[in-house]
Every structure is written in C-alpha cells, then in structure tokens.
Structure 1
C-alpha cells in the first residue's frame, strides 16, 4: 500500500511505525506542516497500561519512551493553605517534543519518509495514495474539506484554561486551588523531564474576567499567575507561548465528535476524530490506541493498488469500518469520564469547601455519573462504605452506566 499520514503527531508517527513493522514494503510518508523540533504543549501524561501495550506492538520505541519518562505515584492537592496527599497508581510524564523525536527517529529507521514543513490541506493533493490518514489535529484541514460527510460537532466547555510550562519540578501530580476576590482559580501540574513541568491553569469565565486575565498581555498574566500560585511553584516562573500580538493563549476546551470517521480512502485518527477533556490526561493514550487499532484492522490487507468504482476497494473499506467500530466502542466510557470530569471543575463550588480528605476523594471520583446527583457528603460516605461492602460496590458499578445512559438519552432528546 501507498500510505500518506497528514500530521506528524504521536498518532500518525506511531501508525506509520506499526504499518512498516507489519509489511516493510508499504510505501509510507508522514507530512508535517511544522518545522522539525517545533511543537505545542510541554509534557504529556500516560499510565503503565499504555507502556505495556506499546511493548507488545513495538518494543524498541516503548523502551525509548519509558527511559525518557518521569514517574510519580502520589497525588497532592493544595486548597488554600491546606494540603492533602493521596497515594495512588503510578503515572508517567514525557516531554511532547521528546516523544515526537523518539517516534520520528523510529519511523525513519524503518523506512518511513518524514517530511517537515509540508502542509497538506486536501486529500486530492495525494492522488497516488491508497490510504490517506488525517491525523492533523482537532482543526484538521482534511476533515473540514468534507465536514458535511463526517458530521463534525464541536462543543466548547464553559471554563477557560491555558497550557503553560514551569521550571518547578513536580514529583507528584499536583492540584492547587486558590481563592481570589473573583472566585477560585486552579492548576494541574506534573513533571515531564528533569528540567520542567507542565502547568495547566483553569478558572470560570467570571474569575478570568474579574482578575483581568482576559485583557492582560501574556507577560502580565504570567506574573499574576506566578503570584497566585507562588506556594506550589516555590517561587519558580511560568513559561507561556504568546500569540504574535503578545496576548496569552487562553482557550475553551472543545469536545469534538464525528458521525463517521472515514470517507473513501480518507480516515480520521486521534484528535481529528475525537477529543476528550484534558483533565483525564488521556489524549496521547487515545491517539496511540487509535493507531494500534487502525494498523490492526489493516493487517493482512492484500496491498493491491487503485480503487474500485465506488472510490475505494472493498477490503480497505471493510478495514476502515472495523477500525471505527472498535474505537467507538472503546471510547464510550472514556468520553463519559471526560465529560463528567469537566463538569466537576465547572461546578467546583459544590465541592471545594468540603474537608480536605473528602474534597480530594471526590476529586478522584469526578468521573462518576452519580456524583452530580447525590449530595457530596452523602456520596463520600457511600463511597467509603462501598470500599468495605461488596454489595454496595456491585450496586455502584451497576447504577453508574445506567444513570449515564439515561442522562445521555435525555440530553439528546432535548437537543442539547
């Protein structure tokens, strides 16, 4: 097969690696619009289960990623002057640039062509490709060319956020909540290398405007945030990426979905197909799992060139349908968890004044579809009791998906 991957992020690079491992005769090119070494973001997170999967599919890149990652096993929450520590599962962080370098180097070693500064806005620019993979992000130009077919929908979240770096090295996944005269503002921070950490700051639009962050230059905004989070930052500075006019890159997260993920020989991968709120830290994992699923669906493809009268060979169309079906099913619980996690932060005043241990416990339970509908202290008591009683645990597991499905059906019926 001749394969063109448009977008040089983790999804496209890892897919190209897997396809070359399956069949070295595949002709694969990754087209990346940016220059080599330029990327957005600071670090990405993942959990041990992802590394286990990567070891199965490409041990060489898995070892390199693991060796370049930092790890933590504690979660720390600062609420004003209070501090709570939770001992949990081991998490990992890696610099986004380092991750892309590892994957690009591995892809090239297998014979993949990685072409930087080569934007592609339309699959028609790649007429010789048997398969065009749109892995060009949430704003995918290839997807937008056929927006009506894909049925793309993007829903903006209420809160505003900004993705920053810092010279402070966090050895735990850290949450910090600060009360201001205009409401609460908080950050999520985690290390990704020996030199830096990611720090995502979020707040309600009322707090954002009340603090003047909507009008402040990036430099002035960072100075204010450094003062607000001086405790957790230990006096370290924050690092941003300003727009050309010097303004800060504050955003509202967009949850993106598509009615279908393929059109002829064009298929969506990663953020071009779906997004999940950053507060669950699953974006990179989902992108790599997409790549694994798509490569798996294409395994054994006969490699014949050209298309049939309907625009794509039946065996390729079958593989794309199989990929979409598998990933949609796998994404359902993750998308539900992300939706409830985002809502937890949007309703922060409901939880922030609980005792520290209770508040942190419910922070860990923010993915639950039951939590928004049960008084927080009652939910906390039920959750603690469920840890001791198997019957309650079973009831909680049984109720959760049913409540989620009912609420989802109601929201669709009301047109929301």
Structure 2
C-alpha cells in the first residue's frame, strides 16, 4: 500500500507541476522618452548719461538752457553686465524747430573711430567683455550760427542700444547690415512681467496604446508650446496619461537632465518645477530634479483609465542675464509595467515583481525585456497541458488498480 501511495503522490506532483505552468504570469515592459528644450533669452547692458564738470564725471543734468556755440558735456555710456557681446546704437534727434535746421550727427563730438555707421545704426567694431564699458560720444556742439529764431526751442537726442551675444557670432562690418538677419532678443513684458506673445498651445499625451501595444508620447518636446523664457515668466501645461490596452498597467516617471557643462546645471537649478498627478503633488523643486532621477509610480491604470499630470515651470524674476541665451535639455522618461497571464515552464521561483518593475523603470537594467503577451482566445497550450495532466493522473490510477489486483 505504501508503494501505491508513493506512485500516486508522484503522479500528483507531475500533474501539479504541469498545471503550475498555466498559472504563471509574464511581465511586459516598455518606455518612451520626451526631450524637453528650454532656453532663456535676454541681454544685460545698461545705458546711462554722464557729464564732466570740473574734471569729474557726474550724472547728466537734463533740461538746461544752451546758447549758440556751446559745447555741452554729454557722455552716453554702455556697460556690459553679462557675457561678451556686440553692441550697436540708433541715434535720433527730436525738436520743435518747425522747419529750422536742428542737430544731427555732425554735432556729436568725441566719437571713437571704432563706431561705424551702417544704415540707421552705429556699430561698435569691438566686442565688449563682461564689465567693459564704451562711450558713444562725449559731447554735443550747438551750432554757432543759430540766431534768435531758435530762442525757447526744445532740443533732444534719443539713443537706443542693442546687444547680441558674441559667442558663435561674427559680424561682417563690410556689409550694409553687419548683423545680418540676427534676431535681437529684447525683454518685451507687460506690466506684470509676463511675456506678451506666446506660441500656440500643444496637446500633450502619453498613451499605453492598445493596438500597437506600446507606450507612445506626443509631441517630442513637451516645452515646444512655450515662448523663449524671460525673467518673471510662468509656464504651465498638462499631460494626459491613458491606458487603452485590455489589461491594467502601472506607469512610471523619471527625469534625466542633459547637462553638457556645469553652467547648464546651474541654469537648470535656477528654474523652478512643480509636478502634480491628479491634483496630488509629485515634485516641487528645481528643474534639474535630482530626486526624480529614480522612477516614481504615477499609479496603476486600469483598462481605459486616464489621468492628468500637470507641470509648471517658473523663471525667477531676479534671474540675471548672465544666463542670456542659455539653453538646456531635460529628458522625461515614461515607462510601463504590465502583468499578463501566460505559460511558464520553469520551476525556479520568480523574483519580486515590484522590485523588477522599479529597476526597469529606473533604467537599472542594461536592456529592456519584453515577453510576448498571450493572445486572447488562444487556449490550445492550456488545453494541451491540461490533457497531459489528466493522462498523468490516469496512469497513476491504472498503476494503483493493477497493484491492488495482484494483492
């Protein structure tokens, strides 16, 4: 009888092992990367007016009475407070002379030969390093031939200065337009310090797509709807997260800054980022987001479920134009983990599924492993193993029956 019991137990173990294959699960994983580009455009030059009095420079005193032949000390000075740049100025003359000849460029004195006139601008042919200053001219001469017809008339000189970053830019001072079609970045703000013009909004989506059975993100740059950032700007948008497959899936999120230099890292640290998922704060800190370099779960999404990930980027109002034209890329990586019922022939115990999910989502694995999911309605392997299990039990029963007859 003991022998028969051993045979029966052996058969049950075999059947159980076969049936265990039909109860195993496969882990499907996929990921998609969105590279966000952000840039700050600004210049930081100052223009102030000085005059010399008794050999000393002081702030220029406006609204003075002048006489024909006077030589007025007037020193408009440009100072560069940021990275190396080229400068140009546009000088215009305002008066109420009503047909009388007024001031023009011939009345300006002390202008360096480094200033050349091209079109309506004076271009300075030497770049200004950080901290450098240059005087546009040092004085104005009132024509001596002016008579009493100019009495009580008002005169004015208006100067507008432009600057362009010197890095990767070389003006052609032989051309009629030495700066060519170079775009001049100016701070165009409303009274609240926000940029007046922005690009059209873009719909942002991350979808675990059922038909393709893969993670899809659109567009390739979630910051593409933002205009060039200026100090004081606040940008915000939201991403729709959805699962259109037939199975529940957990979606993860992490960041990976693409910093080419220490200055890029400093730039990202200046900008502020807030991320919420379904109104729950996920992150608040700088755009470098070191704590988000490891994957965090956005939640488990059932079939057809959607979620909303909202983000806000703030450029501090006190951001100095030391970061003029500074740009950096930040990768946002979304990954998905999905459990699906399939066949498992190995009897070796599986590792903890959540640990594997986190490791793959965090990018710790050198390669992503995909297990082909079982097709719905395809039950032939299950029936085959069930049939094999039944045959094993039948064999055990026949063996037991024959042994009983011999006794």
> TM-score, normalized by length of structure 2?
0.19
Higher relative contact order (CA 8 A, sep 6+): 2
